[in-house]
Structures are given as C-alpha cells and as structure tokens.
Amino acid sequence: MDKNIADLRRDYTKLYLHKEELKQHPLMQFSKWFEEALKAEVLEPNAMTLSTISLDGKPKSRVVLLKGIRAQELVFFTNYESDKAREMEKNKDVAIAFYWPELERQIRIEGRVEKIDSAESDEYFHSRPRLSQIGAWASPQSKVIENRGFLEERLKQFQEQYGEKEIPRPEHWGGYHLHPERFEFWQGRASRLHDRFLYTLKGGNWQIERLAP
C-alpha cells in the first residue's frame, strides 16, 4: 500500500453537543439530528448498520435502511427468510448504528425487535418501486446461488407472471419495529475529546449521562 493506514486521521471541529441542548426523549433527539442530516445532504442518512447474534452465537452486521421514526420505535423491512431475520427470531436483542461523516456524528441504539402487522407491511410494500417489489419475489435472500443469471432469470419470470397486475407482498417479506432501550449520541470534537451522551431507559424514564470519549 502507498499509505500507512495508521497515519490516516482527521480532526473533528465542525460541531459540539451540550447536555442542556439535548431533548429529554432520545427519539426526539434522533429526529432532530436526522432532520439536520437531511439538510446537510448526507448520503443515505437512513442507512444503518444492524447487528444481530448468529444462530451459533457470533456477532453479525450489515447495512439496512431505516423506513420510519415513531414516538416509541424505529421501523425497517427485510426478507423474513434471510439470515438476519432468522437470527432476530431467535434473539430479539439487536444493535444499530448510524454514521454521518458530513456532520461528524454517530448514533448507536440498542433494543428489541418485533414484527409489524401484515397490513402495515402491505402498505409499505406497495409504496416501493415496482421492480423492487418484483425483486422481493425474485431473490432468495442469503441463500447460495450459482450466478447472477439465476437472479435475472427469476426477475424475468416474475415480471411475466404479474405483467401489469398488482404485485402481492410475499409472506416472507415484511417489517420490524425496533423498541429502543439505550441510545448514544456521539459528536466528533477536536483532539479526540468527543462529546458522548448516553440515554438509558430506567423505570419507564430516560436517564441522560455524559460518557468519556
């Protein structure tokens, strides 16, 4: 390599975070930061790293897309036959992380997931682009396939099958609610002395504490 990875570094000087400026509820603070990420034109601000525990007890992570923010929960969608869905069926405790380098911010969230009701999954499924709907039928997510031609052939088959008709939501595809129990808001600061604030749910109330960087 031309450059030593250990020499890659940057100082964070754009913003700061004071405790008195934080919202009392972490999802209100999350919504505030999310709006600021939209204004800053962060690339895919709803992209989040979802971490689960595999069936053999090992941590696994991948990026998925947040699709809803509510008073007490976050919403995302996936294939219920995927590895992550099978892992969440066994262990509903998950962690997610957002990183927005344009704002030098990171958010970490821990909580438990539950499947949303079928009507809500139907509503979101039919709001997706038509090819994304067909893709949900065509891809046996997380399964080993021989080549890309397999996917392209299945896509063609389902396009011919449904034609101009409404595409039904596959039973193996739908959404999850994430009910948060812990939030951390991280704001990069100079000299690696970052601002970190932890929200912990205790007795139905959110406690806010500053963490050392």
**In the predicted model, what is the mean pLDDT of residues 161-166?**
94
Task: Give first-to-last CA distance, the chain, whole Å.
Answer: 30
pLDDT tier at 9, thresholds 50, 70, 90: confident
Q: Quick one: which H or E segment has residue 140?
A: none
Largest CA distance in the chain: 59
Does 2 reside within a domain?
no
Same domain, 197 and 96: yes
Say yes or no: 150 and 67 in one domain: no
Write out pLDDT tens, residues 79-111: 999 999 999 999 999 999 999 999 999 999 999
The answer to whether residues 134 and 113 belong to one domain is no
Residues 176-209 pLDDT 10s: 999 999 999 999 999 999 999 999 999 889 999 9
Residue 70: which pLDDT band, with cuts at 50, 70 and 90? confident
The token pair that represents 113 in the structure block:
């997931």
Please say if the pLDDT value at position 50 is more than 80.
yes
Give a yes or no: residue 106 inside a domain: yes
Based on the domain organization, do 131 and 102 belong to the same domain?
Answer: no
What mean pLDDT is predicted for residues 8-22? 92
The reported pLDDT for the residue numbered 3 is 74
pLDDT at 163 over 80: yes
Range of the domain at 89: 12-125+171-211
Would residue 1 count as lying in a domain?
A: no
Tokens of 51: 């971490």
Closest CA to 176 of 111, 133, 121, 132: 121
Instruction: Give the residue numbers marked as catalytic.
Output: 192
Q: Name the DSSP class of 193.
A: -
Burial 27-40 (b: 16+ CB within 10 A, else e): bebbeebbebbeee
pLDDT at 4: 87
Q: Which pLDDT value is given to residue 5?
A: 86
At residue 1, the pLDDT reads 60
- The reply to whether 57 and 153 lie within a common domain is no
Rounded Cα distance, 96 and 52, in Å:
9
4 within domain boundaries: no
In degrees and rounded to multiples of 5, residue 9 shows phi and psi of: -160, 155
pTM higher than 0.95? no
| DSSP strands (E only) in 4-116 | 47-53, 59-69, 74-79, 93-100, 105-115
pLDDT exceeds 70 at position 211: yes
Among 195, 82, 196, smallest CA distance to 142 is for: 82
For residue 184, is it within any domain?
Answer: yes
pLDDT in tens, 107-156: 999 999 999 999 999 999 999 999 999 999 999 998 999 999 999 999 99
62 and 164 share one domain: no
Is residue 81 domain-shared with residue 147, that is, in the same domain? no
pLDDT of residue 76: 98
The count of structural domains within the chain is 2
Number of neighbouring beta carbons within 10 Å of residue 119: 7
Q: Do 20 and 73 belong together in one domain?
A: yes
Note the helical H segments in the chain. Answer: 26-39, 83-90, 118-125, 130-138, 148-162
